[in-house]
Amino acid sequence: MNREISDYYRTVLLKRNLSEKETREAIYAAIRNGDTELIKACKGRLSTDEHEWDANEGEIYPVDFALKEMAHISTIEALIDIGFSLPDRPAITPFSGTSEEIAALLMKARKLDRKEAVREHIFSTTAYLDVFSKGYSYYRIPFKLNPRDIFEPGFYGYLNAWLMDFTAFCEEENEQNDDDPFYNLGTIIRVCAEEEELLDALKVFIDKGIASQHDIGWLMSHAIWNDNEKAFDLLLSIASQDNIAEINMYPRKDMNLLKRLFSMNVLLPGTDEGFEALNHLLACRDDDEGWDEDILKAVMHPSYTKRKSCWGDGDEGFLPCTMATVRNFPVQYYPILAPTPDDLNARDKHGRTMLYYYAGRYPYCVEDMLNAGADPYDVDGDGNTVLHIMIAEGTYDVTINDVKEAIKFLPEDIIYKKNKAGKTPFDLFLEP
């Protein structure tokens, strides 16, 4: 906010009494500008009772406002000095100041001793980073816009540097508290293992031996689940065979990382774990992320073509080849996931193959499936052909031109096939 706004309110406060509404505007302006002098000038002019602020709809308690605005510790301290209080929930974030400044404020605001203040600081940082990594929070989280126009947490550079200083702070505190080494930093290190942008902070945790105080297999699992191959390699450098054996997650998109897990015998093709890993990989990767045919062959076990996936209808779901083939793979990969037409024509409990489901959602994929061996004459439990499905259950407004386009690659006589209700595809098309 423009500094002139808080200058205006400070000048007016010296000349006359502001209304309560104007004073609230003044203190919000002061918080946004870090104007501690204006905050002090508001002393005694506003209630400091959090419950009274909560009762006024649309008003935010000044300390809460300061936290959401990522105000510096000096601003929060000025609010404490004029009678406001920290909320009970974890409050101070890494964007408020240094660890030393935060600990000092907690000692002052909550009347805590040094050890208790450090504990609360670590707890608050843990809570903040946990929600920061998930992208939602009570706290104000800075965001950036990535090339896909999707908002995601930003300011990683600052946070990375702050965490490296934080490790030095914890190390010094640890030297003075040998009975409680490193406190509880597991969640903080976990977030560093999950977020590739926090790799430098993770290196410091490893170099100082803090990471080794926690379950390395657990940390590696989180690095894997978040497709963070660099963090996985760092943790692998200090992992024991027991740690590796404890890995219980698999990558969602990183095919190279998946292949490495197979080569390390952490995930074995043909096992339940390997099958689940492949299923998640097929479901999470976008078709524009690229596929490596050799890796796909390495992780795809022949037994998988006969196993049901975890989607669809539970135990009666689809085979992996029919679950993700059309949406995620070009047609040249079909033979890897669906070696035979029988694999493409596997049915769910409703008697439908994936051809039917994609006919309603992605009709442009049907031709590829037919070319790969899907049966165009197959009918579901209600006697519906693929053309019935395209017309009756399509997620778009089907026009006569859509039907004409579909007929180009479907057998011509399919337009006369009747379902169990005695209706042809055109009968369904003409229905209101």
Say whether pLDDT at 396 is over 60. Answer: no
Average pLDDT of the segment spanning 206-212: 86
Say whether pLDDT at 64 is over 90. Answer: no
- Find the helix or strand (DSSP H, E) in which 77 lies: helix 73-81
Q: How many Å apart are CA 304 and CA 63, to the nearest integer?
A: 56
Say whether pLDDT at 314 is over 50. Answer: no
Average pLDDT of the segment spanning 222-237: 94
Q: How many Å apart are CA 215 and CA 208, to the nearest integer?
A: 16
Q: How many Å apart are CA 104 and CA 291, to the nearest integer?
A: 52
- Compute the half-sphere exposure of residue 60: CA atoms within 13 Å on the CB side of its CA: 14
Q: How many Å apart are CA 167 and CA 224, to the nearest integer?
A: 24
pLDDT value of position 286: 60
pTM of the complete model? 0.70
Distances (CA, A) of 6 to 29, 84, 137: 6, 19, 29
CB neighbour class for 151 (10 Å; exposed up to 12, middle 13-18, buried from 19)? exposed
User: Which residue type sits at 144?
Assistant: K
Distances (CA, A) of 190 to 98, 205, 216, 224, 246: 21, 11, 10, 11, 15
Q: Nearest 10 degrees: CA dihedral of 231, 232, 236, 239? A: 90
Name the average pLDDT for the chain. Answer: 79
Q: How many Å apart are CA 379 and CA 68, to the nearest integer?
A: 57
Assigned fold of 350-432:
1.25.40
How many C-beta atoms surround the C-beta of residue 162 within 10 A?
18
Say whether pLDDT at 160 is over 80. Answer: yes
Q: What are phi and psi of 342, to 5 degrees?
A: -60, -35
